[in-house]
A and B are shown apart, each in its own frame.
Chain A
Amino acid sequence: MTEVMNDHWQEWKELFDFRHARVLKSNNIMDNFDIAFIEGALAGPEHIEKVKDIRSRSKKLVAVGSCAIVGLPAGQRNTFTPEQKASIDYLLTRFGALPEVKKVSDVVKVDVEIPGCPMDPNVFLNKVNELVKELREK
């Protein structure tokens, strides 16, 4: 997404109020979102709570990329052999990880998916523009 910004940062600077993006800023505000973008699979119980919380604050929720949409590659451990599972079990226990990695749609309603690893910047731009249009019309 930071590469898509190379060509679009000027319009985004005007159009968007980035409320919460730790990769971009320190003073983040968690209130209500028009659009929330979720990257990544869900590997721990607090991820599930976080995604549910974001869902409750957002008009639209967008899952971006394979990790969020299909739960892979982190979810490869779901299909490990019994021997492999036994070898990683103590680490899952130590850090309180979920027994199985989940995708975002396992936990909350997803409005829009932008698939791929990496996601396709053109699909991303089209979907974002559609959402902006839809939200403005309301």
Chain B
Amino acid sequence: MHTILHLDHITKVEGDASMDVVVEDGKVTNVKFAIIEYKRFFTEAMRGKNIAAIPAHLSRICGTCSNAHVMASITACEDALGIHVTPQTKLLRKLVMHGLVSRDHALHLYLFVMPDIYGKDAFLDFDENDPEQHQLLHDGFNVKAAGNHLSQLVAGRSVHATFPVIGGFLQFPSVEGAAKAIEELKAARPAVLRLIDIFMKAPFHLDRKTKYMALVPDDTFGYIGGKVITSKGEVYEQKDFRSQLEHTVLPYSQASAYTYKGESYMVGALARLNLAKDKLHPNTKKSADGALKLFPSTDIFHNNLAQAIEILHSIDESIDILSNNVWKSEPVIKVPMRSATGIGVIEAPRGTLYHKVVIDDAGIVLDGEVIVPTGQNQVNIERDVGVIVEGLIKDTPKEKINMEIEKLIRAYDPCMSCGAHFLKIKWKGK
């Protein structure tokens, strides 16, 4: 028997993707996860622009994790120019990432995944008259708002940030703004504990062995700085990240995929928790003690639990940073232009994000490259879909299988807008 499952325009994810699964005699023989958004040639359009324009340009790759592209691009540009930023800038950048991670993960967990757990079509379909669902509706928008407001305070906006620039920040949080943010973050904390509890008990599981990879900062659990570490104990510098990856060609997808030493691997919240849970904030460790015992985990659905724990860490570390610092106005560091190549690696909410920029001695961009988390997870997504379908194909209706495939894809939290920005694809075969 020959069956083809086709899912067009997968819902409740960032952007547009489709899926084809071919099953022959009960065996999955082919899985194609295709990112169907058209390429926008962001890296080609970098050429000829002044380096100062690059972070804002590349932030437009994505309307959701935009600020991750801002931070990765700034890091790459500073690497090219040899700029070392102040301790205050480093702290403010941590807050930018915490604002981003909390609102981005909350969007995904409440609006995209939560309906699967409660058997609803949409988060807004939750019943206001049911006390539990009523609570979750309010929780979801409150947690998102707390992250959004933190981003506005520190970065100017929660997408396409205006305050962070190459060499520092243009504006600084006010005392009143910081106090208000602390209050909101504290108020959101109980909601996040409920969120962790829900994802700890969530009934979806898929155990799979893979390699995990993440940038792990030297100090606390976070998203900027440090070295790239794998679950096999390999450690390397940010500048060597790209050379470790092999470009895998998927002719049916508008995005590139990657493998590491010939193997597929996973990046994202699950990888970070598996590799660095010991660095989480002490309050997070205490409050999420039970959930943290599940890590390291090989259950892909624990990526959602890991995201919930990361929101708590972002809240706890942001409260700490905002409570213990008074922000002073600092000039942006300016240096002479030079001919150079810069690399910026950060942890975006969905995983390791790589930016490269090549400039001439007038600061004009000659070349660039961007590698996004979704491209790195794509090969794993396809393999896991194969496993799920093979387990269900015998006695499950097609609609149900489609739902299970969507659930699995959502667990990875892919971002198709990011996936479809690139140009440099070397096609082989058809």
On A, residues with C-beta under 8 Å from B are: 2-3, 5-7, 9, 12-13, 18, 22-28, 43-44, 73-74, 76-77, 80, 84, 87-88, 90-91, 94-95, 97, 117-118
**Of the residues B11, B57, B103, contact of A25 by C-beta under 8 Å:** B11
Given the known inter-chain contacts A26-B121, A118-B159, A118-B160, please indicate yes or no for A74 contacting B38, CB distance below 8 A: yes
CB closest chain-B residue, reference A98? B38
On B, residues with C-beta under 8 Å from A are: 9, 11-14, 38-42, 44-45, 47, 57, 60, 63, 103, 107, 111, 115, 121-125, 128, 137, 141-142, 144-145, 148, 157-160, 254, 406, 423, 425, 427
Query: A27 touching B121 by the CB < 8 A rule?
Result: yes
Given the known inter-chain contacts A7-B145, A25-B122, please indicate yes or no for A2 contacting B406, CB distance below 8 A: no
Query: A73 touching B45 by the CB < 8 A rule?
Result: yes
What residues of chain A lie closer than 8 Å to B123, measured between beta carbons? 24
Given the known inter-chain contacts A26-B12, A28-B11, A91-B423, please indicate yes or no for A9 contacting B44, CB distance below 8 A: no
Query: A73 touching B124 by the CB < 8 A rule?
Result: no
Given the known inter-chain contacts A24-B111, A25-B12, please indicate yes or no for A3 contacting B148, CB distance below 8 A: yes
Query: A118 touching B148 by the CB < 8 A rule?
Result: no
Query: B144 touching A25 by the CB < 8 A rule?
Result: no
A5 and B57 CA atoms in complex are apart in Å by 26
5 shortest interchain CB distances as A-B pairs: A25-B122, A43-B38, A6-B145, A74-B40, A76-B45
Interface contacts beyond A88-B423, A91-B39: sample of 16 additional A-B pairs, CB < 8 Å, sorted by A: A2-B107, A3-B148, A3-B158, A3-B159, A6-B144, A7-B141, A9-B137, A18-B122, A23-B13, A73-B45, A76-B40, A76-B45, A77-B45, A87-B423, A88-B39, A95-B39
A25 and B137 CA atoms in complex are apart in Å by 15
What residues of chain A lie closer than 8 Å to B14, measured between beta carbons? 23
Query: B44 touching A117 by the CB < 8 A rule?
Result: no
Query: A24 touching B141 by the CB < 8 A rule?
Result: no
**Of the residues B115, B157, B254, contact of A95 by C-beta under 8 Å:** B254
What are 16 A-B contacts with C-beta separation under 8 Å?
Answer: A6-B142, A6-B144, A13-B128, A22-B11, A23-B11, A23-B111, A24-B12, A25-B12, A25-B115, A25-B121, A77-B41, A77-B45, A88-B39, A88-B41, A88-B44, A95-B39
Query: B148 touching A6 by the CB < 8 A rule?
Result: yes
Query: A80 touching B12 by the CB < 8 A rule?
Result: no
Q: Which of B14, B141, B160 has the most CB of A within 10 A?
A: B141
What residues of chain A lie closer than 8 Å to B42, measured between beta carbons? 73
A50 and B141 CA atoms in complex are apart in Å by 31
